[in-house]
Amino acid sequence: MPLRKSTRYALYAALEMAREGAAAPVTVTRVAERYSIHEAALAKVFQRLARAGVAVSSRGVKGGYQLARRPSQLTVLDVIEAFEPCSPGHRDADDGSGAACAGDGAGRLRRLFDEVDDTVRCAYAAVTLETLAGRTAARLQETRE
As a residue count, the chain comes to 145
Max Cα–Cα distance, the chain, nearest Å = 62
Query: Distance (Å, rounded) from C-alpha 59 to C-alpha 61?
Result: 7
Measured CA distances, 89 to 1, 32, 83, 118 (Å): 14, 34, 16, 9
pLDDT in tens, 47-84: 999 999 999 999 988 889 999 999 999 999 999 999 98
pLDDT of residue 72: 93
Residues (pLDDT < 70) of the chain are 1, 86-103, 136-145
Domain, as residue range, for 50: 5-144
CATH code, domain with 123: 1.10.10.10
Neighbours of 21 (CB within 10 A): 14
Number of domains comprising the chain: 1
Global pTM value = 0.78
Give one DSSP letter per residue of 64-79, joined into a string. EEEESS-GGG-BHHHH
pLDDT of residue 52: 94
Query: Distance (Å, rounded) from C-alpha 43 to C-alpha 64?
Result: 10
